[in-house]
Amino acid sequence: MVKILIVVKICPAREQIPDAVWHSGKELVSVDVGHLSDHGRDIDLGHVCVMWECLGKARGGFLCCPKSKFSSHSPRGPQNPLFPLQRMFRALQVGLKSPFLLRSPSLHRNFWQVPERMARTETTGRNCITVHPEEGKHSATIIVCHGLGDSADGWIDVAESWARAMPWVKFIVPSAASRAITMNGGFEMPGWYDIVGLDDRSGESCEGIDDSIQEIRDIMATEHALGIPYNRMMLSGFSQGGALSLFCGLQLPIEEKLAGILVMSGYCPGYSKFKLTPGLEDVPFLHCHGTADPVVRYEWAKKTKAHVEGLGFKGYELKEYPGMQHSACPEEIQYALDFLKRCLVDDPSLALKAKDPSEMTVKELKKAIAAAGLNSKTLGFNEKSEFVNLLTAHREGNVFV
């Protein structure tokens, strides 16, 4: 169990550690941070400072990050300052590394090293982060959808950890467009659809969900055009992203039947609009949920299971995590990974054939070389043939990172 004590202050420079007045109590502290002027430029300089205790071992430290990087359900914090801050530190609870600068107030040293992005990770399109599979191994694709107020950045660490365990899978983590959320007084934040309130959500209109479904289906269609069959694709998501995965994945045309669906702390939005597609009753399905979730209550997870099964669905697995709130835990992440592996077994015979280096453009060559982690070996390259020879040699096992 992770105990987090939080104080929010304003300081004039990102590198400066503010004096902290630690607060503990029933509700964690939040503040509306405005814009300050720094060298004639208007910059949002809100900082969050965190001290935490993990597994009973006191480890004090500061966590500093500009408010402009924040989002409501990721470890980067809230874009909406009215949100309670306890949900923003899922990464600390999960035990994943986080791109924060953590310092001991006394020793002034890093507590966690900032993790380097995998060489195969890149921003693709307008709003996606993609973790590419190893070259010549791509045989499956998994889409990971974040929760309300979050972005692709909030789940890319999890996607990368799964990608390391499943190097034949491409992980695509899209970011939702910003929209007004009724529950938050019309405040705009990234969301897959509008949420009216925290009471029973079965009757929600879910305005905007159809557009989000089309966005997900467009990503799937692009993968299918590359040669990945739909039965080698999966949808997954946390909170609102999990709700979207369920709502979209079980209403697809039978021709787009998926290999499986993973829902974490999610639910079925808009019961009246949800219609299970005949033929999708046996899609492998895993729903992980904390029994102490105050945001998407565990009783909604049980209602969702009953409702979907009432429509004829078979094999709905609801995995409970006693005491877990609206977050994820290491055991859940590992259990989810095992589920993904069962649904998408590595099959080299299904892998897309890698393009011949001699047929690639220079841009494609540079991208492939970067993904292979060979950028350091291209120093001084001027001719296309040099890039071709390097990539060819790497594929033949004659050049190593």
Residues marked as catalytic: 239, 293, 326
C-alpha separations of 345 from 141, 191, 340, 371 in Å: 12, 32, 8, 23
CB 115 within 8 Å of CB 97: yes
Q: What secondary structure does DSSP assign to 154-220, as a single string?
A: GTHHHHHHHHHH-TTEEEEEE-PPEEEEGGGTTEEEE-SS----SS--TT---TTHHHHHHHHHHHH
175-179 long-range contacts, CB within 8 A, separation 24+: 175/127, 175/128, 175/129, 175/146, 175/151, 176/127, 176/145, 176/146, 176/151, 176/212, 176/241, 177/127, 179/208
Measured between alpha carbons, how far is 72 from 77 in angstroms, rounded to an integer? 6
Residue 117, sorted as left (phi over 0), alpha (psi -120 to 50) or beta, turns out to be beta
Q: Where are the beta strands (DSSP E) in 239-350?
A: 260-264, 285-290, 316-321
Measured between alpha carbons, how far is 394 from 138 in angstroms, rounded to an integer? 17
Q: Which amino acid is located at 81 in the chain?
A: P
